[in-house]
Structure 1
Amino acid sequence: MAKAFKYGRKGITGQLEQAERDLLRNLFSDIIDMLEPESAAHTDPLAALIGLDMDVRVPTDPALKRLLPDVVNAEDAESTAMALEFRQLTERSLRENKIGALRAAALNLDSDKMVLNDEQAKFWAMALNDVRLVLGERLSIRGEADADRIHQLQDWSQADDVDSYLALVYNFVSWLQEGLVQAMLLGLKDRG
């Protein structure tokens, strides 16, 4: 069974069993697949170099839209155009940063005991947050009542359908993220 992340002299340590590492590796991989651009065949090399993507569109998958939200609530034509322009300027780098964090976190899954430095902990926090965003969208978590409903499921033997399994995975990832953030805060407090 996983041991919560803890801050210590060596950094932030945590321990995961093989099945838990495999689960996280698969989740990270699934999110990377969601974030990978559909086609880079027609990408202008100069635009790619500066991070501009004129072909970008608002995602139709609600979970992907949670990962790549609009910056403004598009209520009229002007704000819709502004949101699209901002997306064209920023989405490529946002996708790349998220994919990089997910891949970096996955690198730490090779052994059951992990020791994370500050940068690795940051990547883990980003990766776990993105997994929670996707799972939260798939589970239709919109508010505190929905979150409470999900957090009531704690027993893996109760997972009798996809939603209950996803709820348990969501709870596990939430527990990991909470422990990691607490350990990161202790590290900041200790150093500062």
Structure 2
Amino acid sequence: MGHLREGLLTVARRFESTRRGVTATLDDDERALLAGLLAEVAELLDDGSTPSADPLEALVGIGGPTTPPADPAVARLLPQGAKDDPDAAREFRRLTEKGLRARKREALERARATLARPGAFVLDPDEAHAWLVSLTDVRLVLAERLGLRADDDAELVLAEAASRDPEDPRVWMASVYDFLTWLQESLVSALTSRRGRAAR
């Protein structure tokens, strides 16, 4: 894993499977970085719309927009359905986008709330799922900003970043993306380990 700027995440922790559950120990800099990223993506997903007056629309989250978001990073979080059928894609977005935005923001807020716990914090299954979803969404936003479309792209960007000025913002974003990838892999490994033990 590539180390980040001096003073941040120089000794990154990871998620681990323990007797108590999936745990993580993060220092103050790591918590601050993650909390900021989670909050920023939650803000990107806030479309500023007011709750619907229609009880059915409010309950199931329908009545949303029919066109993709203007920000390509947000559009990547809210992908187009039925790509070969524009009418079906518009209807799919109208019926699902509000609910999807709300669920993603809820996961981001749930994950961020765990960062306020002192010491090593333990995640319950819902919180672990929220972290998985949230790390994916933050990585998708960074990937869009970096122009990443495939795993090979990430390797190229990280190699390019190694030869740039450390103060270049693109180097910072690439390092954060690398860290989040490593952190998410550790969470998947911890959850897989727990499921394996439970199945025995």
When normalised by structure 1's length, the TM-score is 0.89
Q: Is there any run of 5+ residues in structure 1 with no aligned partner, and where?
A: none
Other-structure match for 2:5: none
Other-structure match for 1:38: 48
Q: Deviations over 1:94-120 (max 9, x none)?
A: 111101110000011113422112211
1:53 correspondence with 2:59:
no
| Whole-angstrom CA distance in 2 between matches of 1:141 and 1:103 | 26
> Are the equivalent residues in 2 in contact too, given 1:6–1:14 (CA < 8 A)?
yes
Q: Structure 1 counterpart of 2:154, which letter?
A: A
When normalised by structure 2's length, the TM-score is 0.86
2:77 to 67, 71, 75: 67
Other-structure match for 2:23: 13
Superposition misfits of 4+ residues, deviation over 6 angstroms: none
Q: Structure 2 counterpart of 1:16, which letter?
A: L
Other-structure match for 1:166: 173
Q: Is there any run of 5+ residues in structure 2 with no aligned partner, and where?
A: 1-10
TM-aligned CA distance change 1:65 to 1:170, over 3 Å: same
Other-structure match for 1:23: 33
1:90 to 81, 86, 96: 96
> Are the equivalent residues in 1 in contact too, given 2:23–2:120 (CA < 8 A)?
yes
Q: Deviations over 1:42-82 (max 9, x none)?
A: x33332233112444311111001100011224xxxx1110
Q: Counterpart of 1:13 in 2: which secondary structure? A: strand
Q: Structure 2 counterpart of 1:85, which letter?
A: E
| Whole-angstrom CA distance in 2 between matches of 1:107 and 1:54 | 28
Q: Equivalent pairs: percent with the same residue?
A: 36
Q: Counterpart of 1:2 in 2: which secondary structure? A: coil
TM-aligned CA distance change 1:32 to 1:72, over 3 Å: same
Q: Counterpart of 1:95 in 2: which secondary structure? A: helix
Which of 21-30 and 2-11 deviates more? 2-11
| Whole-angstrom CA distance in 2 between matches of 1:11 and 1:179 | 14
CA RMSD of aligned residues (A): 2.0
1:127 correspondence with 2:137:
no
Q: Deviations over 1:151-188 (max 9, x none)?
A: 44787x96321111100110111111000011011111
1:143 correspondence with 2:150:
yes
1:99 to 76, 85, 105: 105
Aligned pair count reads: 186
Other-structure match for 2:194: 187
